[in-house]
């Protein structure tokens, strides 16, 4: 009788462990019911905000509670920018931008603009800066959302650029840094302290092997990172701005597809891609670097997608990373992934990794 009881307890423990492991595995990946077009993360509110076109909406994911709120959009979104306090965001569309409230999820107002938005930056004081998708030499559309009418500012000598340029708000809130799609990949600093762009500084920095314009900042804004893995020092003094400060190493000359800095952990989290500029292939890992000396530390594997087939077998698909964000404490990573070459009903997900 004792042997039977002992065997029963042992079997229960085994099945309980299997069940717990299964639950933990599911908790590491949250399947999404939408696609993902663009995403940003606010460390002040610990919210991951992403836009989808199917359906057209803003999706607000609270990383602490893992709850999800939605704002339906009237137009298909192309890009998004979150305010520095995390309370509002601006969504770009073809011919429009939408100002949304993230604190009490709702649309504040929709504005007509004279371009299709490739990228958008939400500055302070309710100003939005829209980077056009096309028309070669064109202008950043500065939109004063404090005004009810005539909110798109006239063009000036400061906001001319080449279509395809993308920008990012400096953590100080005073500047937008931008990089053009031209062969030299020059870094520009646009002054927005007074609302409209009223100054532009073009740095002397040029990429040696330039491809697609993309830039990221350290949390304090003292360093800037480019797609070509270059690290630059930033400064309000022109001749000290965008000075070369090192390079992130990689195998096979990988490009940076996305980068996030965690100052609390002293780490850089990087998504790499390989291949030419027209056919980049994302690498299915999250690479970790020391933020002070740029040394490589380790990399994280991503959980594969699985699908139960009609033949009682399981198909698996690689998870392709698109965005990586660290929480305000640095203790968790949130990675937006897509199942590679699958026909899954839910092929997008948020994967979670705990950081010691």
Mean pLDDT of 348-355: 97
Query: Which pLDDT tens digit goes with each residue over 236-254?
Result: 999 999 999 999 999 888 9
Please tell me what DSSP assigns to residue 173.
Answer: S
Supply the pLDDT for residue 310.
Answer: 64
pLDDT band at 1 (very low <50, low <70, confident <90, very high): very low
Model pLDDT for residues 273-310, shown as the tens digit of each residue: 997 767 789 999 999 999 999 999 999 999 999 986 66
Q: For residue 183, what pLDDT is reported?
A: 60
Q: Is the pLDDT of residue 350 over 90?
A: yes
pLDDT digits (tens, 9 = 90+) for 4-54: 444 433 333 333 333 333 223 344 899 999 999 999 999 999 999 999 999
Q: Which two tokens stand for residue 55?
A: 């359906």
- pLDDT for position 7: 42
Residue 54's CB is within 10 A of a number of other CB atoms, namely: 10
Task: Provide the pLDDT for residue 32.
Answer: 97
Higher pLDDT, 1 or 123: 123
Closest Cα partner for 317 from 326, 309, 329?
309
pLDDT for res 96: 98
pLDDT at res. 251: 82
pLDDT tens, residue by residue, 8-21? 333 333 333 333 33
**What is the percent of the chain where pLDDT is above 70?**
89
Local structure of residue 20 (DSSP, 8 states): H
Q: What percent of the chain has pLDDT over 90?
A: 75
**Domain spanning 35-164, CATH class:** mainly beta
CA distance 256 to 274: 9
> Taking the model in full, what pTM does it have?
0.90
Is pLDDT above 90 for 331?
Answer: yes
* Preceding omega of 55 cis (within 30 degrees of 0): yes
In angstroms, the CA 226 to CA 215 distance is: 5
Report the relative pairing of strands 29-31 and 38-42 from DSSP bridges: unpaired
User: What is the pLDDT, as a whole number, of residue 17?
Assistant: 37
Is 181 in contact with 164 (CB distance < 8 Å)?
A: yes
88 or 313: which carries more pLDDT confidence? 88
The average confidence (pLDDT) of the chain is: 89
The predicted structure's pLDDT at residue 261: 98
* Cα–chain center distance at 177: 16
Report the pLDDT value the prediction gives residue 162, as an integer from 0 to 100. 86
Sequence ranges of the domains in the chain: 35-164
Residue ranges of E strands in 212-266: 215-217, 223-226, 230-233, 243-247, 255-262
What is the pLDDT at residue 231?
Answer: 97
What's the pLDDT at 23? 27
């Amino acid at each position: 009788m004792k042997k039977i009881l002992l065997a029963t307890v042992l079997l229960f423990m085994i099945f309980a462990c299997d069940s717990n492991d299964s639950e933990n595995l599911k908790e590491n990946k949250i399947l999404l019911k939408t696609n993902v077009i663009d995403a940003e993360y606010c460390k002040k509110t610990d919210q991951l905000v992403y836009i989808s076109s199917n359906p057209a909406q803003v999706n607000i994911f609270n990383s602490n509670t893992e709850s999800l709120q939605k704002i339906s959009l009237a137009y298909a979104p192309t890009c998004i920018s979150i305010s520095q306090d995390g309370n509002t965001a601006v969504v770009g569309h073809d011919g429009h931008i939408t100002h949304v409230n993230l604190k009490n999820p709702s649309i504040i107002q929709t504005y007509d603009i004279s371009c299709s938005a490739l990228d958008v930056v939400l500055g302070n004081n309710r100003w939005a800066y829209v980077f056009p998708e096309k028309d070669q030499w064109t202008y950043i559309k500065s939109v004063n959302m404090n005004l009810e009418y005539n909110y798109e500012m006239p063009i000036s000598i400061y906001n001319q650029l080449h279509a395809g340029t993308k920008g990012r708000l400096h953590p100080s809130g005073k500047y937008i840094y931008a990089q053009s799609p031209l062969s030299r990949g020059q870094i520009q600093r646009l002054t927005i302290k007074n609302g409209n762009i009223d100054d532009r500084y073009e740095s002397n920095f040029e990429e040696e092997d330039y491809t697609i314009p993309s830039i990221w900042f350290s949390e304090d804004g003292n360093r800037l990172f480019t797609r070509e893995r270059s690290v630059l020092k930033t400064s309000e003094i022109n001749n000290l701005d965008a000075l070369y400060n090192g390079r992130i190493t990689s195998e096979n000359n990988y490009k940076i597809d996305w980068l996030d800095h965690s100052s609390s952990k002293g780490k850089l989290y990087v998504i790499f891609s390989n291949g030419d500029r027209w056919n980049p292939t994302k690498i299915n890992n999250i690479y970790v670097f020391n933020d002070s000396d740029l040394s490589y530390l380790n990399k994280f594997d991503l959980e594969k997608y699985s699908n139960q087939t009609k033949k009682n077998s399981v198909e698996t698909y690689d998870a392709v990373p698109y965005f990586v964000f660290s929480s305000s404490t640095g203790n968790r990573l949130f990675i937006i992934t897509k199942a590679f070459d699958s026909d899954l009903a839910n092929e997008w997900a948020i994967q979670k990794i705990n950081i010691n």
